[in-house]
Amino acid sequence: MGVVLRDALREGGIAQLYRGALPELTGMIPRSTGALASLEFSKRWLRQHAPDPVTGQLQARHAYLAGAVSGVCESLGFAPFQVIKVRMVAQEHLNRYSSSFDCARQLLKAEGPKGLFIGLGPTLWRVTVWNTLYYGTMHNIQTEVFDKHPLSNPVLSAARKMATGMIVGMTATIFNAPFDVIKSRFQSQERGPNQKYRYTLPSLATIIREEGVRALYKGFLPKALLLGIGQTIGYMVFSEALGFYSQALKPRAGAAAEGDDATADE
């Protein structure tokens, strides 16, 4: 990671480190919204329609299913921004685009709207695998460990969740990193009859055969840190905000129900 950082600074200075940052940051809005909203909706739906026969809560395996659903929704909102980001940072395109907007304009002109969804297949694999493992495992740790053995100190409780989330997130990255490499290969190549990478699993076999398994884990450390830390912070903030608003809306719902009863009595 240090060598890559040094080479990037030599090539384009500090600005090179932030090339492609705009689509990455902009894409966080639909990405996070799609992932967390669909995750919560899926968990509630599964808890209501197929609860655990003993506890009446969400079944452990259904937590993983909800994570998979969130991965599909996240991928659909995530893919277009990733195509632009990869084109901006890929070595073969460094001098081709003047900005993210120029990249999007040229991409749409040359390849049409479909160009924004290049690599959707490996993106689905990448995100769905990670979300399934991460959100499913975190939910079950929450119910089986954190809820049953709470800590009275809120700082220690948050630190425990953060540390656990980092470990789970970095472990899940082991399984999704190969698909991230394939996604980048898909999105950096030009469309045409000479495309080398066309389908996810055959591309996986091609890379292993030509470059070895290590090629599937290029850039693993920054990916693992980004997902392990970043996603855990986002998930914790979302969970706290959801709990806050759920509690804040309860009195209003109760007051509305009492008002309806009073109106009916009149």
Q: What is the pLDDT of residues 98-121, one digit of tens each?
A: 888 888 898 899 888 888 898 999
Please state, rounded to an integer, the average pLDDT across all residues of the chain: 86
Residue 40: the pLDDT is: 95
- For residues 192 and 200, is the Cβ–Cβ distance under 8 A? no
Per-residue pLDDT tens over the stretch 46-93: 999 999 999 899 999 999 999 999 999 999 988 899 889 888 877 666
Residue 144: HSE in the Cβ half-sphere, 13 Å Cα cutoff: 10
Work out the average pLDDT over 11-28. 71
pLDDT band (50, 70, 90) for residue 209: very high
What local confidence, expressed as pLDDT, does residue 59 receive?
95
Q: From the CA atom positions of the chain, what is the Rg in Å?
A: 22
**Cβ neighbours for 163, distance < 8 A, ≥ 6 positions apart:** none
- Which domains, from first to last, does the chain contain? 2-243 (1.50.40.10)
Residue 253: pLDDT band (50, 70, 90) is very low
Q: What is the pLDDT of residue 14?
A: 67
pLDDT on residue 194: 78
Helix, strand or coil, per DSSP, at residue 174: helix
**pLDDT band at residue 18 using 50, 70 and 90 as cut-offs:** low
Residues 6+ apart with CB under 8 A from 42: 65, 66, 69, 70
pLDDT tens for residues 141-153?
A: 999 999 999 999 9
Q: Output the pTM of the full model.
A: 0.83
Is pLDDT larger for residue 42 or for residue 29?
42
pLDDT of residue 237: 92
